[in-house]
Amino acid sequence: MVKNFAQEYSTKYQKETPTFMDNAMELFASYRWPGNVRELRNVVERMIIFMDNQRKHMEIKVLQQKYLGFQG
């Protein structure tokens, strides 16, 4: 679902679709998603909107701090 949402929002916002590092995909899979699919969709959309055009891949630290609210 993450890759599908990323493709959808990349097209919508005319940005290059990012690739996801394995550890980023593991984080998506292990996160509890209290808001279910709606929350996942919103996180991916926000990630695409704020993604730096030079950044072609999502790193675990960026996902944790910026989009999922983890500290550390």
CATH number at residue 44: 1.10.8.60
Residue-wise pLDDT for 20-51, tens only, equals 888 888 888 888 888 889 989 998 898 888 87
Q: Domain tally for the chain?
A: 1
Give me the phi and psi of 58, to 5 degrees please.
-100, 125
Name beta bridge partners: 5. Answer: none
How far, in Å, CA of 5 to CA of 26, rounded?
A: 16
Least confident window among 17-21, 41-45, 63-67: 63-67
* 59 found inside a domain: yes
* 60 found inside a domain: yes
pTM above 0.95, yes or no: no
* 72 found inside a domain: no
Q: Looking at the chain, which runs of residues are DSSP E strands?
A: 19-20, 57-58
Range of the domain at 55: 2-67
Give me the phi and psi of 19, to 5 degrees please.
-100, 155
Residue 50's Cβ-count burial label (10 Å; 0-12, 13-18, 19+) is: exposed
